[in-house]
Amino acid sequence: MTGAVILSGGRIASAGSVLPPLTERRLEGGLGTRHRAAVGISEQTDAVVVVVSEETGTISLAVDGRLRRYLSAVRLREQLAHYLRDGGENDGAVKTDMVFSDPAQGLLASFFHCCSLLFFWLLASGDGSFRGMERIVTVEVAIHNLPMDQVVVDSPPAPIKVRIAGLSPFLNRSGGEAISAHVDLAGTPPGRQAYAVNVGAPAGIEVLSVTPGRVNVETEQLAHDTFPVTLAVLGMNPPALSVGEMRPPVPAVVTVSGRASILERVDLVVAYLSLNEGLTRLEGSFPVQVLDAQGHSLGGVAVEPAEVRVHVEINDTEKAHEPAGEGND
């Protein structure tokens, strides 16, 4: 069984009607009860039946027990005009008062056909009915209009629960993905505050409740400071290597940006170098790290530039003390 909309005399006579399914013939694979009912009623009556697949949205037309599939909107209008105006293969199915000689009436009929297609599509999307439904969806909360001189201290607010209602076609097609939620921080001072959650929903969906209706967001002033870059040489391999000339890094000073409370903990800005056997010169770009007094790397900061250029001359003390050779004794 399936629900159907019955049109008579240019009006909707019934919706959600139960039609007798086809029982004696087989349809091609993938066609379910909805298509069987359409073919069955077209066999038993002179009805012209439009079917919209719930899964794919494919439009089909059943006439005299035969199913025409994969119709475009244009082709469906042509077929309906054929059967409604001329009778087509379904002679006598439609009364002559459905024939439109006036162009204005023809335009009205085309508009009616388009509205009918939309109605059928919505009906298919709504599990065969236009009943009202309610649903609770989980929505992430976005932060809008954060002042440029502030940063968010915590992670984004926890998701909220939104109870929505609407006709089943709109809820089934949109679900919770079309619901949006945000808090607006425009013009707010730094600190921890509770902000009202703004929820948006597309046409056809009503927002019934939002839980919680307010969320806490903590912001802090964005600070900038400059620090000199220290070059630190890690364990040299082999130990006989030593640093000769070490030029200052370029640039010698970098800008660190972040929350004011984090910048207060900055103790050292450093670029680490590693010397290996066989090198006589170390030259290139090296990343800069920001450390606290315990030597731990600090997160939540940005360094500009993130790398500095380094030039170091390397000496091999063992080679420097080797005998010049027997000829020099």
Find the CATH number of the domain harbouring 248: 2.170.120.40
- Concatenated DSSP letters for 162-211? EEEEEEHHHHHHHTTTT-EEEEE-TTPPSEEEEEEPEEE--TTEEEEEEE
Domain membership of residue 253 (yes or no) is yes
Regarding whether 272 and 181 lie in a shared domain, the answer is no
Q: Last residue of some domain: 76, 102, 125? A: 125
Domain membership of residue 181 (yes or no) is yes
Query: pLDDT digits over 13-59, tens only?
Result: 776 677 777 666 667 666 778 888 888 888 888 888 888 876 677 78
**76 vs 112: CA distance, rounded Å:** 13
Regarding whether 255 and 295 lie in a shared domain, the answer is yes
Task: DSSP letter for 36, please.
Answer: H
Q: Judging by DSSP bridges, how do beta strands 49-52 and 59-63 pair with one another?
A: antiparallel
Task: DSSP letter for 250, please.
Answer: B
Regarding whether 25 and 44 lie in a shared domain, the answer is yes
How many domains in the chain? 3
Whether residue 214 is predicted with pLDDT greater than 70 in this model: the reply is yes
Residue 176 sits in a domain of what CATH number?
Answer: 2.170.120.30
Q: Last residue of some domain: 152, 181, 212? A: 212
Q: Which residue has the higher pLDDT, 102 or 290?
A: 290
Q: Which residue has the higher pLDDT, 127 or 12?
A: 12
Regarding whether 171 and 272 lie in a shared domain, the answer is no
pLDDT band at 155, cuts 50/70/90? Answer: confident
Domain membership of residue 52 (yes or no) is yes
**261 vs 174: CA distance, rounded Å:** 43
Regarding whether 199 and 120 lie in a shared domain, the answer is no
Q: Which residue has the higher pLDDT, 113 or 153?
A: 153
Q: Which residue has the higher pLDDT, 285 or 92?
A: 285
Q: Token pair of 171, please?
A: 């809820």
Give the position of tokens 């630190």. 232
Give the position of tokens 């029982």. 23
Domain membership of residue 324 (yes or no) is no
Would the pTM count as exceeding 0.85?
no
- What mean pLDDT is predicted for residues 138-147? 94
Q: Last residue of some domain: 125, 147, 174? A: 125
Domain membership of residue 328 (yes or no) is no
Q: Count Cβ atoms below 10 Å from residue 61 Cβ, excluding itself.
A: 20
Regarding whether 280 and 236 lie in a shared domain, the answer is yes
Regarding whether 252 and 314 lie in a shared domain, the answer is yes
**324 vs 214: CA distance, rounded Å:** 81
Q: Which residue has the higher pLDDT, 285 or 30?
A: 285
Cβ 157 vs Cβ 183: under 8 Å: yes
- What mean pLDDT is predicted for residues 190-201? 94
What is the side-by-side order of every strand in the sheet holding 132-139? 132-139, 160-167, 205-211
Regarding whether 292 and 313 lie in a shared domain, the answer is yes
What is the side-by-side order of every strand in the sheet holding 307-316? 241-246, 307-316, 281-287
Whether residue 326 is predicted with pLDDT greater than 60 in this model: the reply is no
pLDDT band at 244, cuts 50/70/90? Answer: confident
Name the residue range of residue 312's domain: 221-319
Regarding whether 115 and 180 lie in a shared domain, the answer is no
pLDDT band at 235, cuts 50/70/90? Answer: low
Within the chain, where are the H helices?
33-44, 73-81, 103-125, 168-174, 260-263, 317-320
Regarding whether 90 and 34 lie in a shared domain, the answer is yes
Domain membership of residue 42 (yes or no) is yes
Q: Please state which of the ranges 34-48, 94-108, 156-170, 217-231 shows the lowest mean pLDDT.
A: 94-108
Rounded mean pLDDT of the chain? Answer: 78
pLDDT band at 322, cuts 50/70/90? Answer: low
- What mean pLDDT is predicted for residues 235-254? 77
**312 vs 231: CA distance, rounded Å:** 10
Domain membership of residue 266 (yes or no) is yes
Domain membership of residue 121 (yes or no) is yes
Regarding whether 182 and 238 lie in a shared domain, the answer is no
pLDDT band at 143, cuts 50/70/90? Answer: very high
Q: Token pair of 191, please?
A: 């600190």
pLDDT at position 205 is 84
pLDDT at position 52 is 80
Regarding whether 119 and 10 lie in a shared domain, the answer is yes
